[in-house]
Structure 1
Amino acid sequence: MSIKLAVPCLLLLAGPAAAAAADPLPAAIAAPGETVVLSVHAEGAQVYECKAGTDGKLAWAFREPIATLLYEDKTVGRHYAGPNWEHADGSAVAAKAAGDAPGATPADIPWLKLEVNAHRGSGVLTPATTVQRINTHGGKLDGACDKAGEFKSAPYSAEYVFLKKG
């Protein structure tokens, strides 16, 4: 086996977090100098509500995420409005958006960098200071809608990377 073949094979064996690290992230969501605490896969939906915009026309407006957090194909937590992430060990964080980059296709929600602004409990998420949402697929819903107050979900998946300073 040549070295050229060995590197991609090692990345596949190391999993999605290592493969994502092989390509530099967009500057708007990069976290230089921070180290990974936990990387999980999320499967869920972005929930939208039909609301009147500033122009008075009805359109889909983002309301909240609802997702299951998975590690090695096992459920380890959940993600919901706030935004909040809870781990099964009792630790949780809330965060606010600090940067974004476009998803791979127009149907994909953006990649995000979020700054942790609250911690609860004690566990793996306790040291987290930054959350990155990368490798998004789906989740976007925009355009006109017919009835104010109506809800619609757009399925999505993403990787959430929890980082700490230093």
Structure 2
Amino acid sequence: MLWLGLAASSVVAQTAMPDAVAAPNETQIAKFHAEGAQVYECKADNSGKLAWAFREPIATLISDSKTVGRHYAGPTWEYSDGSAVTGKVAGSAPGNTAKDIPWLKLDAAAHRGSGILSGVTTVQRINTVGGTLTGACGTAGAFQSEPYSADYVFLRKS
């Protein structure tokens, strides 16, 4: 009986890939875990009320407990071999909780270098935890970082 309970809970823990971020007919090149922060800035919205606006991500890419790259504004992912890819959002799905930033599908918009990320056509941000900032901001120009983690999957057309 205990074995059945464990099997059932492991199935529940796995979240299916939402259609909006799926990349059928593409092959995985690499997958890295990221730990970092989503940075927000306090700005006036269209009505003049101050609100937190997303500014940029700052994260470390990790593989086998080692730092292998970084993720920053663009959005850009840079691998330790000097290759980099910049993406443009093509699809979005809600995170698992209201505190989790959305899962994303990004089309490659630009490349740099000739390493592992040079052939990437799609980037998926999945398994997000945290990163959403809520609440009021009181001073225009103030910054706030919200910790997050995610997995980034780098794909190419088959």
Could you say whether these structures have the same fold, taking a TM-score greater than 0.5 normalized by the shorter chain as the test?
yes
User: In the alignment, which residue of structure 2 is the partner of 1:117?
Assistant: 109
Question: What CA distance in whole angstroms lies between the structure 1 residues aligned with 2:109 and 2:99?
Answer: 29
CA distance in 2, matches of 1:76, 1:27: 29
Contact 1:59 1:142 survives alignment (8 Å): no
Correspondence 1:59-98 to 2 at 5 A: 59-98=51-90
Aligned pair count reads 150
Q: Check conservation: 1:94, 1:119, Cα contact below 8 A.
A: yes
Q: Structure 2: any 5+ residue segments left out of the alignment?
A: none
Q: Does 1:34 align with 2:26?
A: yes
Cα shift readout 1:36-86 (whole Å, capped 9, x = no counterpart): 000000000000000000111100000000000001110000000000000
1:43 corresponds in structure 2 to 35
Alpha-carbon distance between aligned partners in 1 of 2:25 and 2:15, rounded to the nearest angstrom: 16
Structure 1 residue runs without a partner (length 5+): 13-18
Aligned to 1:103: 95
The residue type equivalent to 1:96 in the other structure is K
Instruction: Name the TM-score, length of structure 2 as normaliser.
Output: 0.90
- 1:152 equivalent among 114, 138, 144: 144
1:53 to 45, 49, 59: 45
Question: Would you identify which runs of 4 or more consecutive aligned residues in structure 1 move more than 2 Å?
Answer: none
